[in-house]
With several copies, the nearest count.
Chain A
Amino acid sequence: MATRTFIEAIREGLREEMRRDASTIVLGEDVGVKGGVFLATDGLFAEFGEERVIDTPLTESLIVGASIGAAVNGLRPIAEIQFADFILPAFNQIVSEAARMRYRSNNAFGCPITIRAPFGGGVHGALYHSQSMEAFFTHVPGLKVVVPSTPYDAKGLLRSAIRDEDPVLFFEHKKMYRSVRGDVPDGEYTVPLGQAAVTRAGSQVTVIAYGLMAHYALAAADRVDEDGISVEVIDIRTLRPLDRRTILDSVRKTGKCLVVYEDNKFGGYGAEIAAIVAEEAFDYLDGPVMRAAGPDVPGVPYNHVLEDWFMLDPERIAEAIRTLAAY
């Protein structure tokens, strides 16, 4: 066991997978000598050379499209999109191509690629360096979407993503890169895709979250504990395919459910969770399925007054829990 920051765990995961499997390559903008703008790929260029760690031109569609082709011809590309915000030029390649390669070819071809991208706000990144992009991709059959929240999960899920036979989007909350630390085992381990984690057991309210919000949800649970409210927290970890059972089991137990997400509320990923719970746990509900989410404005504004207004925090989540508990 060693303590690692979130980004160290990711970097180690990349390095170890690249050592294990010579067919892996890393490609993206500034991933080479610079090691990525957040240093997630730092050291890989020195160790694996420019053939396996490729500084691409500033062309996201190419990064994804070439990854698809390389995957079809025997490589296992790990693409980095510098900021999740800049994944949109590659949207067509991801949604029309990567996601559909297997289905449209009736399993003749697969597309084992991993696309890593830092996302999320609270870092003075403003409208275009703060976005949560998961809702665009979790809707798409054929894609898998992972949002880890601990160094342990980040490394274990990244390994599973790279080894998976299908395209996986791996979103890393950039505010957690250096602020979140945790234990990571020394040996090789994986965390399977498709399993949520109950990160705190409780009896009265289920709070469902992912990414940075999984931490804030725990902090909020601590706060309301003082008010005598017992909260169960679920970290979804893999947003697609979704672990419905863990969620439904919990809500059927607590009878109350709050879905927390940082993204704009309307049509965000949490809407699907809320809809599933409302449909499949109806008989067990003692209150409305509530959502605490970002406001419906186009992106996180830059000025700190506005940014603070945008971002959810433990207290706002705690307030929502109190409201729901009192229902």
Chain B
Amino acid sequence: MTTTTTSETGGPAGSLARSLGLTDEDLVAMYRRLALARAIDERMWVLNRAGRVPFVISGQGHEGAQVGIVSNLRPGFDWLVPFYRSVAGVLTFGMSAREIMLAQYAKAPDPSSGGRQMPGHYGSAAHNILSTSSPVATQLLHAVGIGLAARIRRTGQVVVTALGEGASNQGDFHEGLNFAGLHHLPVVTVIENNGWAISVPAAKQAPIVDFAERAAGYGMPGVVVDGADVIGCWRVGHEAVERARRGEGPTLIEAKVTRLTAHSSDDQQTKYRTAEELERERLRDPLPCFREQLLEASVLTPEGVAAIATEIAAEVNDATEWAEQQPDPTVASATWYVYAEDRP
């Protein structure tokens, strides 16, 4: 019940990973997802600066935690209830680069919302990724409800949901975790703590350093993990998902991540973050950290890294170009689906 901290995973990544039951292929697949998420994310900003898409909200710096934890779910069977920074999470759980770019361009075939929502509001019925809204923390309760249905229907499904540390101060967090703990629901809640809620630093958000400490009050384990340590994230995710799968109940994971970009394309973060802080935070970027680890452990070679980069660049280019060419939603469709009976 007490809050524990996993620090460095220690030792060469390869041997540690093997001891956890991860193969080299698993590690490379995780690296690929992380690198893909980053590449898509960077492309969004390029498109925004070029005036091609009006809005970007980004997951840069959060990808390690997302890839590490979500890799433990069974795609198409379990559930992911994401938030706006879950670019890497939804990619890990089955969405494609093209689907992400469809949301970015708000095109008619966009599986998230058919272009109705802002980019970053992911969702996919095909992949059991619940539709995202904007008011923060509401999704916690949906994840809890999904877990409740899984338990009542005895499906064996596990739910992972994520939110920022800022959002975790909302009332819905309290009500949701209390219920999940009470009914031992198979729900893994991830606080992606990047130290900021837009311009408000964590120290002005809550009187505690580790938000996972709150888990004890909800009768569930709370775990703090370094979001730059992808294997560490996989491990705590694995433990939490397996625990949930065994019917032993929920876990609260706090991943200490970093926000490498402004809050969104509408934000000027230099007004409230110093150049030194931004510089320092670069060291906590999970992408180079993971890459170094895999190179050091000879799970990846420099050539392998380059090959992956080439593949990803092609994938992102394809997704961008393809999505841009897709049709906009029609005016006729604007009134569809207010209710189930509003079908074309």
Partners in one complex: yes
Residues of A within 8 A of B (CB): 23, 25, 29-30, 32-35, 37, 51-52, 55-59, 61-62, 64-75, 77, 85-86, 88-89, 92-93, 96-97, 100-110, 124-129, 141-142, 144, 164-166, 241, 295-298, 301-306, 309-310
Cβ of B17 under 8 Å from chain A: no
| CB-based contact B197/A108 at 8 Å | no
Which of B89-97, B121-129, B237-245 has 4 or more CB atoms under 8 Å from chain A? Answer: B121-129
Contact partners of A75 in chain B: CB under 8 A: 148-149, 152-153
Cβ of B117 under 8 Å from chain A: yes
Contact partners of A303 in chain B: CB under 8 A: 106-107, 115-116, 328-329
Residue from the list A57, A141, A241, A306 in contact with B166, Cβ < 8 A: A57
Residue from the list B133, B148, B172, B205 in contact with A70, Cβ < 8 A: B148
New A-B contacts (7) at CB < 8 Å, excluding given A142-B338, A166-B340: A69-B149, A86-B135, A126-B118, A128-B117, A302-B116, A305-B331, A306-B333
Among all A-B residue pairs, the 4 with the closest Cβ atoms: A69-B145, A65-B141, A106-B114, A128-B134
| CB-based contact B197/A29 at 8 Å | yes
Interface string of B185-222 (1 = CB under 8 A from A): 00000000000011110001110000000000000000
Interface string of B141-172 (1 = CB under 8 A from A): 11111111110110101000000101101111
| CB-based contact B136/A58 at 8 Å | yes
CB-CB contacts below 8 Å: B250-272 with A: 266-267, 271-272
- A303 and B118 CA atoms in complex are apart in Å by 8
Contact partners of A68 in chain B: CB under 8 A: 141-142, 145
| CB-based contact A61/B131 at 8 Å | no
Cβ of B325 under 8 Å from chain A: no
Cβ of B234 under 8 Å from chain A: no
Residue from the list A30, A61, A141, A301 in contact with B116, Cβ < 8 A: A301
| CB-based contact A96/B145 at 8 Å | no
Residue from the list A57, A70, A108 in contact with B124, Cβ < 8 A: A108
Query: For residue B182, which residue of chain A has the nearest CB?
Result: A57
- A305 and B330 CA atoms in complex are apart in Å by 7
Which of B173-181, B277-285, B310-318 has 4 or more CB atoms under 8 Å from chain A? Answer: B173-181
Query: For residue B134, which residue of chain A has the nearest CB?
Result: A128
A23 to chain B minimum Cβ distance, whole angstroms, is: 8
| CB-based contact B266/A295 at 8 Å | no
A-B contact pairs, 12 of them (CB 8 A): A37-B198, A65-B140, A74-B153, A74-B155, A85-B135, A105-B112, A129-B134, A142-B338, A144-B339, A166-B339, A306-B329, A306-B333
Cβ of B138 under 8 Å from chain A: yes
Contact partners of B306 in chain A: CB under 8 A: none
Residue from the list B121, B143, B330 in contact with A69, Cβ < 8 A: B143
Q: Pick from A59, A61, A101, A298 the residue with the most CB of B within 10 Å.
A: A59
- A85 and B147 CA atoms in complex are apart in Å by 28
| CB-based contact B134/A127 at 8 Å | yes
Cβ of B335 under 8 Å from chain A: yes
| CB-based contact B145/A70 at 8 Å | yes
| CB-based contact A57/B130 at 8 Å | no
- A102 and B130 CA atoms in complex are apart in Å by 11
Contact partners of A297 in chain B: CB under 8 A: 334-335, 338
| CB-based contact A105/B198 at 8 Å | no
Query: For residue A35, which residue of chain B has the nearest CB?
Result: B271
Contact partners of A25 in chain B: CB under 8 A: 152
Contact partners of A72 in chain B: CB under 8 A: 130, 142, 145-146, 149
| CB-based contact A34/B131 at 8 Å | no
A249 to chain B minimum Cβ distance, whole angstroms, is: 23
- A59 and B171 CA atoms in complex are apart in Å by 8
Contact partners of A109 in chain B: CB under 8 A: 123, 125, 130-131
| CB-based contact B113/A105 at 8 Å | yes
- A58 and B167 CA atoms in complex are apart in Å by 6
Contact partners of B106 in chain A: CB under 8 A: 302-304
A151 to chain B minimum Cβ distance, whole angstroms, is: 23
| CB-based contact B145/A73 at 8 Å | yes
| CB-based contact B145/A71 at 8 Å | yes
Q: Pick from B146, B170, B175 the residue with the most CB of A within 10 Å.
A: B175
Query: For residue A66, which residue of chain B has the nearest CB?
Result: B145
Contact partners of B79 in chain A: CB under 8 A: 73
- A37 and B64 CA atoms in complex are apart in Å by 28
- A14 and B246 CA atoms in complex are apart in Å by 33
